[in-house]
Structures are given as C-alpha cells and as structure tokens.
C-alpha cells in the first residue's frame, strides 16, 4: 500500500521543526522542485532547499504549527503557522508525492491585511 501524502507532509513539517534542514532531504525526491508563485522563484533540489533555509535571516529557531492537513495518496495541502519568536508567517503548501517522497511543493505566503470597513456590517472579527 502506498504511503499517503498527508503522512509525508506531516513528516516534512516535523523535520522542518528540528531546524536541521539537511534532514528534510529524507522526504524530498532527487528531482524535488519548490515553487513560490508570489515571488516568481523556483528552488531545485534538497541541497538548495536546505541552504535557503539555513541562510534565511532568523531571530531564533523556527517553530512550525500545523493547523491543517488534507490530501490523498499522492497530494496533500497544509496550512502552517511559522515563527522564529519575532517574525510570524503563515504558509499554504501544496505537496505532490511519488514513491513516498515529495517531488513538487508549491507554497503561498499570504501577508496579513486590514479588513475593509465597507463590509464591517457583514462580518465578525476573528481572534
């Protein structure tokens, strides 16, 4: 029976939380590609992925909170909150998995925005 993609995505985030980004390569396929459509960037391979994470300016160890994961045998989507104690972010990540390893990851890093006052009478504020 094939490994389901949501399990691989959970393991990806568990390994990311160790802050040993080389270790994340255990769940990445040799042909791994990461796309960031918002900035138009593509990262190829586990080594470049690890180096990008090691070189990213951080104020401390990265912490990852997996808010939600859904998927099937070969696809998963995660909603993750990320912090280094100072910076806060949220990422929506789309995983494609083949033979138990991630071959493609597409991530969106939305920026928080103020709610428009034009719809204030229709909505309630979330905490």
DSSP element (H, E) containing 14: helix 5-17
Spell out the domain ranges in the chain: 5-110
CATH topology classification for 5-110 = Nuclear Transport Factor 2; Chain: A, (3.10.450)
Q: How many CB atoms lie within 10 A of CB 90?
A: 16
User: What pLDDT, on the 0 to 100 scale, is given for residue 125?
Assistant: 85
3-class state of residue 55 by DSSP: helix
Summarize pLDDT for 11-37 with one digit per residue, the tens. 999 999 999 999 999 999 999 999 999
What CA–CA distances, in Å, run from 46 to 19, 26, 34, 110?
Answer: 14, 9, 10, 24
Question: Where does the chain have alpha helices with state H?
Answer: 5-17, 46-55
Q: What is the mean pLDDT of residues 2-8?
A: 87
Letter string b/e over residues 9-23, b meaning 16 or more CB atoms within 10 A of that residue's CB: bbbbbebbbebebee
Q: What is the mean pLDDT of residues 34-51?
A: 97
Whether this prediction's pTM lies above 0.85 is answered by: yes
């Amino acid at each position: 029976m094939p490994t389901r993609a949501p399990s691989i995505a959970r393991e990806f985030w568990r390994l990311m939380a160790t802050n040993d980004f080389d270790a994340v390569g255990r769940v990445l396929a040799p042909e791994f590609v990461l796309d960031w459509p918002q900035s138009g960037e593509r990262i190829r391979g586990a080594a470049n992925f690890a180096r990008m994470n090691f070189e990213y300016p951080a104020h401390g160890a990265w912490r990852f909170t997996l808010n939600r994961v859904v998927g099937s045998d070969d696809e998963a989507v995660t909603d993750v909150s990320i912090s280094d104690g100072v910076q806060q972010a949220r990422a929506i990540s789309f995983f494609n998995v083949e033979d138990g390893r991630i071959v493609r990851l597409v991530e969106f890093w939305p920026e928080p925005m103020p709610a428009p006052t034009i719809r204030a009478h229709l909505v309630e504020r979330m905490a």
